[in-house]
Amino acid sequence: MQIIGLPAHENIGNIVQKIDITLKWDKNCAIMYKISRLKGSDNVGYCLVRLTSDDYPEFRRTYSKLVYSIYDKTSMLYFLENKITRQALEKEMRTRSKFKADLESEDREMYFFKRDEETIGFVELSFHKGKCDIVEFFVFERYRGYGTTMWEKTLEVARKRKPSRIELWTPYIGAQIFWSKMGFQIIYINGVKCYRLKMRYS
Ligand SMILES: CC(C)(COP(=O)(O)OP(=O)(O)OC[C@H]1O[C@@H](n2cnc3c(N)ncnc32)[C@H](O)[C@@H]1OP(=O)(O)O)[C@@H](O)C(=O)NCCC(=O)NCCS
């Protein structure tokens, strides 16, 4: 008997993604006729861990690994992203007291995105009048599927507060492409281009 197919796990970069293989039997040979890669949904070992007030040093370290997705990933200008990000963060980095105040606010939730014990991303949400805003959202290693997995985990935590919609604003083209791929629609709030996902609950 011969089985034609792929191994059950495929190593893509650092991500081991599970592959669902359906076999169809034909005489002595099992022919693989359906392969579906469980991209994003195979997120065992990945989780969001809520920040505490002791996490300020790690919070700062996390920001030192952020590079904004300013351009489409195929753009020749990508090499400028790191420099522009560092300049932007110089002005925006939160002080310890601001960090603590944000953390203590009932409307805010900040999470480290972990793969096993290791932090690989960060997300911050703000809840107000039945709406959830994505204040910050980044992974350290881009274009490897981590953003998609972190988004799935973010949806899980956001849904607990039952917002009617999730919204965000980002001026960065690369990030805009990502959010469109996650199903967000473009909306204009006071003439400013934003992204919105309507939530449904059964
Ligand atoms: C934006 C971000 C979260 C996306 O996460 P990621 O892990 O890089 O994205 P994924 O690998 O999960 O990609 C998901 C899809 O988005 C697309 N995408 C992601 N970044 C892109 C970019 N800069 N340009 C074009 N497409 C992009 C991928 O090609 C992929 O599309 P596909 O499914 O058709 O192949 C991540 O790149 C990041 O942290 N960027 C820096 C921070 C930032 O700019 N945050 C946004 C502000 S809210």
40-83 pLDDT tens trace: 446 789 999 999 999 999 999 999 999 999 999 999 999 999 99
% of residues, the chain, pLDDT over 70? 79
What total of structural domains would you count in the chain? 2
- Stated as kind and residue range, the H or E segment containing 156 is helix 146-159
22 lies in the same domain as 67: no
Asked whether residue 7 is domain-assigned, the answer is: yes
- The mean pLDDT value of the chain amounts to 85
* Atom 37 in ligand 1: residue holding the nearest Cα: 142
Name the nearest CA neighbour of 133 among 155, 165, 111, 103.
Answer: 165
| Beta bridge partner(s), residue 47 | 114
Q: Is residue 159 part of a domain?
A: yes
Alpha carbon of 2 to ligand 1 centroid (Å): 40
Last residue of a domain, which of 24, 39, 54?
39
Residue 25 belongs to domain spanning: 1-39
Is there a single domain that holds both residue 57 and residue 72? yes
Say whether both 93 and 113 belong to one domain.
yes
Q: Are residues 34 and 50 in the same domain?
A: no
Q: pLDDT tens digits for 84-115?
A: 999 999 888 899 999 999 999 999 999 999 99
| Number of CB atoms found within 10 A of residue 139's CB | 21
Residues 1-21 have a mean pLDDT of 42
- CATH number of 116's domain: 3.40.630.30
| Beta pairing partners, 3 | 30
**The tokens of 163 are what?**
């917002």
Q: Which protein residue's CA is at the shortest distance from atom 34 of ligand 1? A: 181
Do residues 62 and 147 both lie within one domain? yes
**Does the C-beta of 144 come closer than 6 Å to ligand 1?**
yes
* 91 within a domain of the structure (yes/no): yes
